[in-house]
Structure 1
Amino acid sequence: MTNGAGSRRAVAVGVTVLLLVISGCSRSSDRGVREYVDEAISGLSEGYYADSDAWDEAVEEALPGLYASDSIPDTYEALRRLTKVAGGKHSFFSTPADVAVWDQPFPPGGVPMPTVTYDGMVATVTVPGFSSDDQSEIDQYLGAAVAVFESERARTACGWVIDLSANGGGNLWEMLVAVSPLLDDGVVEAFRDRDGSTSNVVVNGNTVTWDDQEWGSLPGEPTKFASRPIAIVQSGVTASAAESVIVAFAGQEGVEAFGSKTGGFTTVNNGFELPDGAVVTLSFALMGNREGNFYQSPIAPDHDTKGAGVGALTSAKDWMADQCSDL
C-alpha cells in the first residue's frame, strides 16, 4: 500500500515498517537457495491469510520449483506470488533492486507536507501520502502539521475539512500523529490479528500509542480541535495509511466523509528482510474502528458524490459551511 501500493518507500506501509530480520544473518547472495526459501516461507507464514488451505496448497505447489531454482534471484517471482497469498493485495515482495530505488531520500524541498487553506471560517487541511524512515524527513512532515494547527487562524476555524483524496498511503503512524489535534482522546482504532486478538490505537492529546507503545507525538502542544465538525474527502486513490486515518475518525461525533469508495488496502503491514536484502511487506492485521467494525474492502463515504454534479471537496466545504452557520 503505499501503508503502500507502489509508494516510494512502500515498506513503510503505510506503517513505518518493523523490520524483522528473521535470522539476523548478514546480507549475502551466495547462501543456499533452499535455506533462503525456507527463511522466506517461515516469514510469510505469519501473514494474515497464511493459516488457510489456500496458503498450504500454494506452498505445496511452489516448493519443488523454488528448491530447484538455480539461484536466489530465480526464486523472486514465485515468492512474489506467495506473498500475495499469505498477506493479500496489500502485501508485496521487493527485490534488492526495488529496495535500492525506494530507499532513496526525497530530493531537497521534496518532502510532501500537510498544508492548510481557509475559506472564511472553514479550514481545509490537505494530508499527503508520506513514506520515509528518515528522521529528518519525518520531522519535516510533523513540523508542517504543527504549523497547520498552532496558528491563531486555526484556533478560530469553526470546522475542518481533511482532504485525503490524493493520499495513497505511507507511514501510518506519522499520518495519525499529524491529524491528532482533530481526533478525540481515547481509543480511535483497533487492529485484529488472524487469531482474533485485538490491540488498540490510542490518542492522548497529540500523542499516538499502539498496544501501550508510544508511536509518536507532535512537537509542542498544538490546540485540540476534536469538538469541531469535520468533513473527510476521500477517493479511489485514498489507500493504506490514509484509509487508517478515515477509520480513526469513524464513530467520532460530528464527522462525515465525502467522495467515493477508497482503494481497499485496509490491512496493517509489517515486514522482514531476507539475507540478500530483499524485503517482504506483509499484512498481519485488519484495521477496525473504535466501534469494533473491521474492514476487508474499500471504505464507502457517508456522502457518495460521484455523479452529484459537484466535486467531493466542494460538497464537503458546502456541508461544513452549513454546520458552521448552525453554530
Structure 2
Amino acid sequence: MLRISTIVAAILALAISSDGPVPPTRAAKAYFQRALDLIRHHHRNRRQVDWVKLIPQAEILLAGAKRPADTYDAIRLVLAALHERHSFLLDPYPLPASTGATPTRTDAGPLMPSSRLVQSRFGYVRLPELDTLGPNGRERGKAYTATLRRALLSMDRADLCGWIVDLRGNGGGNMWPMLRGLDPLLGAAPFGFFVLPDGTKEAWIRSEGSIFSSSDELPPSQPLFELAHSAAPVAVLIGRGTASSGEMTALAFVGRPRTRVFGAASAGFTTANMPYILSDGAVLLITETSVRDRTGRDYVGSIEPDEHLEYFNIETGAQRWLASQCAR
C-alpha cells in the first residue's frame, strides 16, 4: 500500500516543474477569479479579511489547474478564511459520459409537507427542507406551496382551535415557498428582516400577491388564501436539525400573537445566503445578510425555543399549551 507521503509527493510533482509551480490555464484562472469577485463583492464578512495576504495563499492551490474543478480547493480556502459556516461551494453532479451537456444537479422529487389532525382539534403540518436549485426548481417550489396550502385548508374545520408547525429536520433550502404555504398563519407583515452589513433592512413582506423581501415601501396585500382559524394559536417545533431556511421560517412566527416555540436550540445558521451558479454547474452559496425578527431582535447562531423539551416530549408539550390557549 502506498504511503500518504508518497501520494502527496506524487501530486506535487505533477503540479511543479523544474522551473517552479506550473501556472493555471487561462480558463481555470478566470473561473477562480469569477468566484473570488463574487465573494469579495457579496459576503457579509468581506471587510474583515486581509485580501492582500489571502489571495496569494489561495493562488498557491491553483498550481497546475486546468479545469474548474481544479480550483475548488482554492475557492474553499477563501470561504474558510471568512470564518462563517453558511457559505460553501457545491460540486456539480457528474453527467453520463458522452452526453456533452452542461452539468446540472439531480432532479429527484423533493419531500413534500405532510399533515394530520391531532386530537381532532389541532392542525399539524410538518415542513421538510426544499431545494429549488437546478432544473424545475420553480415548479418544485410551487408544488411545495400548493401541498402546504391544501393541507391547511383541509384541516380548517369548525372545531379546530390551534396549529402545530413542525420544522424539526428542516435543513433549509428555499424559505419563500414555505412562507407562502403558511401565509394566513403568519399574521401581519413584516414577518422578519434581512440586515445587510451597512444596516440596510429588507423586510419580509406580503405584497403584490406574494411573500418576498424588499427594502422598498410597497403596498401590503391580503394573504394568498384565507383560513377561518388563521388567528388560532400556533406551536412551532424546532431542534438541532432545523437550519437555514427552516430557521427563517421559525423566525417568521416569532412575535406573532398566541405563538410559542418548543423543542431544542436550532442548528445556528441564522443568516441568508444567495446561490451563484458557476460556468460548470457548481453552485457558490455566499452569506450576505444577518436576520432580525419582527420584534427587532437580531440573531447570531441558534434560535432558542420558548420551552426546552426532550424530543419525544415536544409534541405533547405543544399540545398541552395549545389546549390551555383554546380554553381561554
* Residue 156 (structure 1) shift: 3.7
What is the CA distance between 1:38 and its match in structure 2? Answer: 1.5
Task: Give the AA of the match of 2:33.
Answer: D
1:62 aligns with 2:58: yes
Other-structure match for 2:3: none
Please list, as runs of the form range in 1=range in 2, the aligned pairs for 1:75-224 lying within 5 A after superposition.
75-86=71-82, 88-97=84-93, 103-107=105-109, 111-133=111-133, 134=136, 135-151=138-154, 153-154=156-157, 156-203=159-206, 207-211=210-214, 221-223=225-227
Q: State which drifts further: 220-229 or 117-126.
A: 220-229
- Displacement, 1:52? 0.5
Unaligned runs of 5+ in 1: 1-28
1:288 aligns with 2:288: no
User: Structure 1 pair 42/31, CA: closer, same or farther in 2 (3 Å)?
Assistant: same
Q: Does the CA-based 8 Å contact 2:92-2:282 persist in structure 1?
A: yes
CA–CA separation in structure 2 for the residues paired with 1:122 and 1:206: 28
Q: Are residues 126 and 96 of structure 1, via their aligned partners in 2, closer, same or farther at CA, if it must alter by over 3 Å?
A: closer
The structure-2 alpha-carbon separation of the partners of 1:188 and 1:121, relative to structure 1 and needing over 3 Å to count, comes to same
Identity percentage of aligned residues:
26
| Residue 237 of structure 2 corresponds to residue 247 of structure 1 | no
1:82 CA drift (Å): 1.7
Q: Deviations over 1:193-233 (max 9, x none)?
A: 1222111011359731311599xx99973326442111111
Equivalent residues of 1:54, 1:85 under 8 A apart: no
**TM-score, normalization by structure 2:** 0.79
Per mean C-alpha deviation after superposition, the further-off stretch among 116-125 and 182-191 is 116-125
Q: In 1, distance between residues paired with 2:147 and 2:301?
A: 31
The number of residue pairs the alignment matches comes to 291
Contact 1:161–1:316 (CA under 8 A) maintained in structure 2: yes
The one-letter amino acid paired with 2:324 is D
1:236 aligns with: 240
Contact 1:266/1:286 (CA < 8 Å) preserved in 2? yes
Residue 167 to residue 56, structure 1, CA distance change in 2 (3 Å): farther
Q: 1:138 and 1:170 mapped to 2: Cα distance?
A: 10
Q: Does 1:319 align with 2:321?
A: yes
Name 1:12's counterpart in structure 2. Answer: none
Q: Which of 66, 69, 74 is the equivalent residue of 1:71?
A: 66
Q: Is the Cα–Cα contact under 8 Å of residues 236 and 263 in structure 1 kept in the other structure?
A: yes
Question: How far did residue 84 of structure 1 move?
Answer: 3.7
**What's 1:40 paired with?**
35
**Secondary structure of the corresponding residue to residue 32 of structure 1:** helix
* AA partner of residue 49 (structure 1): N
Q: Counterparts of 1:226 and 1:156 in 2: how far apart (Å)? A: 13
Counterpart residue type for residue 152 of structure 2: F
Query: Which structure has the greater CA radius of gyration?
Result: 2
- Cα 1:269–1:152 change in 2 (3 A) is closer
Aligned equivalents of 2:175, 2:263: Cα separation in 1: 21
Question: For residues 30 and 296 of structure 1, what CA distance do their matches in structure 2 show?
Answer: 41
- Aligned partners of 1:152, 1:181: CA distance in 2, in Å? 13
Could you report, residue by residue, the CA deviation over 1:274-306 in whole angstroms, capped at 9, with x for unpaired residues?
233322011101121012222120110000113
- Tell me, in whole angstroms, the C-alpha distance in 2 between the residues paired with 1:94 and 1:188: 30
Match of 2:305 in 1: 301
| Alignment-mate amino acid for residue 39 of structure 1 | R
1:246 shift after superposition: 1.1
Does the CA contact (< 8 Å) of 1:55 and 1:85 recur in 2? no
Between the two structures, name the one with larger relative contact order (CA 8 Å, sep ≥ 6): 1
- Structure 2 residue ranges without an equivalent (≥5): 1-23, 96-101
- CA 1:98–1:213 in 2, change beyond 3 Å: closer, same or farther? farther
Q: Which amino acid aligns with 1:42?
A: D
- 1:20 maps to what in 2? none
Going from structure 1 to structure 2, the CA distance change for 1:75 and 1:260 (only over 3 Å counts) comes to same
The TM-score with structure 1 as length reference comes to 0.79
CA contact (8 A) 1:149 1:155 kept: no
Q: Which whole-Å deviations, capped at 9, do the CAs of 1:141-185 have from their partners, x for residues lacking one? A: 122112122236445411111111121111111111111121112
CA RMSD of aligned residues (A): 3.0
What is the one-letter code of the residue matched to 1:311?
N
Query: How far did 1:31 drift?
Result: 4.8
CA distance in 1, matches of 2:65, 2:155: 64
State whether residues 189 and 288 of structure 1, in contact with CA within 8 Å, keep that contact through their aligned partners in structure 2: yes
